[in-house]
Amino acid sequence: MHDRTALIEMRIDRFIRERLRPARHRLSHPLEVRAWEVPGEPVSFTDAVQADFTPTAVGAPWGRPWGTTWFRVTGEVPSEWRTASGGLPDGTRAELVVDLGFTAGQSGFQAEALVWDLDGNPIKGISPFNNAVAAAVQSDGRIDVLLEAASNPDVGSIFTFDPTALGDPETAGADPIYVLRVVDVALRDLTVESLLDDTVILRGLLGELDASSPRRAEIVQALDRMIDLVDPHDVAGTAAAGREALREVLASPAHASAHVLHAVGHAHIDSAWLWPVRETARKVSRTFSNVLSLMDENPDVVFASSSAQQFAWIKERYPEIWERLVERVREGRFVPVGGMWVESDTNMVGSEALARQFVEGKGFFLREFGIDTPEVWLPDSFGYSGALPQIIKASGSKWFLTQKISWNETNRMPHHTFLWEGLDGTRVFTHFPPVDKYNSDASQADLAHAQRNFQDKGRARVSLLPYGYGDGGGGPTREMAAQVARAGSLEGSPVARHSTPRAFFEQAESEYPSPEVWSGELYLEFHRGTYTSQLRTKQGNRRSEHLLREAELWAATASVRTGRAYPTEQLKRLWQLVLLQQFHDILPGTSIAWVHQDAERNYAAIAVELEQIIADSLRALVGEGTRSLVVNAAPHGHASVGALAIGEADAVAPVTPVAADGGFVLDNGLVRATIDARGVLTSIIDLASGREVVPEGQNAGVFQLHRDTPTQWDAWDIDEHYRRNVTDLLEADGIEIVDGAVVISRSFGASTLVHSIRLDEGSRTLKLAVDIDWHEQQKLLKLSVPVDVHTDHAASEIQFGHIVRPTHTNTSWDAARFETVAHRWVRVGESDFGVAVTNDSTYGHDITRHPREAGGTYSTVRLSLVRAALFPDPQQDQGRHHLEVGIVVGGELVDAIAEGYRTNLAERRIEGADDVKPLVSIDHPGVVVEAVKLAEDGSGDVIVRLYEALGRRADATVAVGFPSGDASEVDLLERESEQAALTGQDADGIRLALRPFQLVTLRLPRA
Q: Is 13 in a helix, a strand, or coil?
A: helix
Nearest to 675 by CA among 691, 694, 648, 690: 694
Residue pair 78/143 in contact (Cβ under 8 Å)? The answer is no
Residue type, 723: R
Q: Which of 798, 787, 794 is nearest to 827 (CA)?
A: 794
β-pairing verdict for 495-498 and 260-265:
parallel
Torsional class of 913: left (φ above 0), alpha (ψ -120 to 50), beta (otherwise): alpha
382 CB contacts (<8 Å, ≥6 apart)?
Answer: 345, 347, 404, 524, 526, 527, 530, 584, 588, 716
Contacts (Cβ under 8 Å, ≥6 apart) of 123: 115, 116, 117, 133, 135, 136, 145, 289, 293
Look at residue 375 and give its three-state secondary structure. Answer: strand
Pairing of strands 112-117, 142-151: antiparallel
First to last CA, the chain: 91
Supply the DSSP string of 391-418, one letter for each residue.
HHHHTT--EEE--GGGG-SS---S-SEE
Residues 127 and 106: their CA atoms lie apart, in Å, by 10
- Beta carbons of 795 and 870 less than 8 angstroms apart: no
State which H helix or E strand residue 985 sits in.
Answer: strand 982-986
Closest to 865 in 3D by CA, of 759, 706, 734: 706
554 and 614 Cβ atoms separated by less than 8 Å? yes
380 is catalytic: yes
Q: 578 with 357: CB under 8 angstroms?
A: no
Phi, psi dihedral angles at 126 (to 5 degrees): -120, 125
Q: Measured between alpha carbons, how far is 442 from 499 in angstroms, rounded to an integer?
A: 13
Using DSSP, state whether 945 is helix, strand or coil: strand
Length, in residues, of the chain? 1007
Q: Is 582 strand, coil or helix?
A: coil
> Which of 637, 644, 416 lies closest to 552 in space, CA to CA?
644
SS3 at position 663: strand
Strands 399-401 and 427-431: parallel
Residue 234 CB neighbour total at 10 angstroms:
10
Catalytic residue among 154, 224, 345, 380: 380
Sheet holding 399-401, edge to edge: 375-377, 399-401, 427-431, 417-421, 517-519
Strand order in the sheet with 942-948: 927-934, 942-948, 999-1004, 968-970
Of 45, 27, 13, 58, nearest to 207 by C-alpha is 13
The sign of the dihedral angle between the CA atoms of 547, 820, 528, 775 is positive
* Residues identified as active-site: 380
